[in-house]
């Protein structure tokens, strides 16, 4: 693959939503390797599946010999991006931001090789140039290139105002700082392309425009579509919360299960976006119907998990699922909890995360949706004791796909 293959690959695999001046961008890639960046604010100590589209964009950029730049928002996190939000983000301490940056870096290492060679990524922090800014000179040099009328027309601002939600002045400055990131990255590292989610289109266009206004250089933008499931749900969210990329937040088995449980209509799309599989094979798997779709889901789960956690962990997760769902055994690598026994079944269901409340636990039991050691139970108040343990654990199941081992403690 060559640098110029990048655009055709990401278009075929479903990554492209919008692109600035496509003919010029195609010509730009034809000249040789391109440096492109995506920014990630440090609002948590891990990224989640919702960030995978951006991570995979950087991965394909590297695979085609271009240079990915991961920009950590150590500076902009102190302000908070208003895009796609109805409420003001919580202001984090510098110590918390530093902890979050360290955690986020771990999420990238399975996907990108960092270094100075061809196709290797670099990680930067915009606090390097934002922290020393003297605000008045910044407004004189950068702010004069921004029209308030245009800023008010941006979706991130307009939607907040239309919903009568407060937008602080510090948040209003976010688009200036993000745009200035593009200028600094262009000056320091020759970055000519910014990529991001579709909610970042306005900010990306402003950044490219600022590069042209301040330095009279070419700059481009690409956005990826907002990924939702076939039923319209936001990608990366489940009933129990976000699907995080760091293993200490979500185990390889739980991660595998997330992909195994996607909707049938999403399998082909997700194979294109979230695996490295050849598109000919993706299209073949996309034609499967009926019970065969489950095989495609298992392939998706294994390939996606292998990218993040490694092939051995992915295959172990697949084997665990096979043991659990097909053979009915309590595989040791299932998620587990330690709980004092005896305990009521309802308490254990809540503690295991299989129910959000005792009321929901009672409803699950009443609907014959709960099994203890693969045996259906009918009384949510029943006491689970040490006698229910098998080889030191009892397998608690809710529905066909959620299983947790309960150990006495």
Q: Read off the pLDDT of each residue in 323-352 and give the average, rounded to a whole number.
A: 80
Structure tokens at 271: 């194979």
- Band of the pLDDT at 332, cuts 50, 70, 90? low
pTM: 0.77
Q: Answer whether residue 283 shows pLDDT above 90.
A: yes
| pLDDT value of position 55 | 97
DSSP codes joined into one string, 129-158? HHTT--HHHHHHHTGGG--HHHHHHSHHHH
Q: How far is CA 364 from CA 215, 336, 381, in A?
A: 63, 20, 12
For residue 86, name the pLDDT band (cuts at 50, 70, 90).
very low
CATH superfamily assigned to domain 336-408: RNA-binding S4 domain (3.10.290.10)
Confidence of residue 329 (pLDDT cuts 50, 70, 90): low
Which two structure tokens, joined as six digits, stand for 316? 């172990």
Residue 33 in contact with residue 65, Cβ under 8 Å?
yes
Domain edges within the chain? 3-224, 251-327, 336-408
Tens-digit pLDDT profile for residues 159-195? 777 777 767 676 777 888 889 999 999 999 999 999 9
β-pair type (237-238, 241-242):
antiparallel
Residues 243-253: pLDDT tens digits?
889 888 888 98
pLDDT at residue 257, as a whole number: 86
CATH of domain 251-327: 1.10.240.10
Summarize pLDDT for 159-168 with one digit per residue, the tens.
777 777 767 6
Task: Report whether pLDDT(354) > 60.
Answer: yes
Give the confidence band of 83 by pLDDT, cuts at 50, 70, 90. low
Tell me: pLDDT of 212 over 70.
yes
| Token reading at 202 | 């306005």
pLDDT digits (tens, 9 = 90+) for 29-79: 999 899 999 999 888 888 999 899 999 999 999 999 999 999 998 888 876
For residue 326, the model assigns a pLDDT of: 57
Cis, peptide link before residue 342, omega less than 30° from 0: yes
**Record: fold of 3-224:** Rossmann fold (3.40.50)
């Amino acid at each position: 693959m060559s640098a110029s293959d990048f655009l055709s690959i990401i278009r075929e695999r479903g990554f492209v939503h919008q692109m600035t001046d496509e003919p010029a961008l195609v010509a730009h890639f034809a000249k040789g390797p391109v440096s492109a960046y995506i920014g990630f604010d440090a609002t948590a100590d891990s990224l989640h599946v919702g960030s995978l589209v951006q991570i995979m964009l950087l991965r394909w950029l590297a695979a085609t010999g271009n240079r990915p730049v991961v920009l950590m928002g150590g500076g902009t996190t102190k302000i908070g991006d208003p895009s796609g939000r109805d409420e003001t983000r919580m202001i984090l301490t510098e110590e918390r931001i530093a902890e979050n940056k360290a955690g986020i870096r771990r999420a990238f290492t399975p996907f990108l090789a960092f270094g100075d060679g061809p196709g290797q990524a670099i990680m930067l922090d915009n606090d390097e140039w934002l922290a020393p800014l003297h605000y008045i000179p910044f407004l004189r040099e950068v702010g004069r290139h921004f029209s308030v009328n245009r800023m008010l027309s941006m979706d991130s601002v307009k939607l907040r105002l239309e919903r009568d939600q407060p937008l602080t002045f510090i948040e209003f400055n976010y688009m200036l700082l993000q745009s200035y990131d593009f200028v600094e990255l262009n000056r320091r590292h020759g970055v000519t392309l910014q990529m991001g989610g579709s909610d970042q289109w306005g900010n990306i266009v402003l950044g490219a425009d600022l590069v042209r206004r301040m330095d009279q250089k070419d700059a481009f933008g690409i956005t990826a579509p907002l990924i939702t499931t076939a039923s319209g749900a936001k990608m990366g969210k489940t009933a129990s919360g976000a699907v995080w990329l760091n293993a200490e937040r979500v185990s390889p088995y739980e991660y595998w299960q997330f992909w195994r449980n996607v909707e049938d209509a999403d399998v082909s799309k997700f194979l294109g976006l979230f695996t490295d599989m050849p598109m000919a094979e993706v299209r073949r798997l996309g034609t499967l119907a009926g019970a065969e779709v489950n095989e495609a889901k298992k392939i998706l789960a294994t390939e996606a998990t292998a990218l993040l956690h490694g092939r051995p962990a992915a295959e172990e997760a697949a084997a665990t699922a096979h043991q659990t769902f097909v053979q009915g055994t309590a595989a040791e690598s299932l998620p587990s909890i330690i709980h004092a026994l005896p305990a009521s079944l309802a308490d254990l269901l809540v503690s295991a995360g299989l129910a959000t409340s005792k009321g929901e636990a009672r409803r699950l039991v009443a609907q014959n949706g709960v099994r203890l050691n693969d045996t259906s139970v009918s009384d949510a108040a029943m006491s689970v004791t040490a006698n229910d343990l098998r080889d030191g654990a009892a397998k608690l199941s809710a529905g066909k796909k959620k299983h947790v081992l309960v150990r006495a403690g």
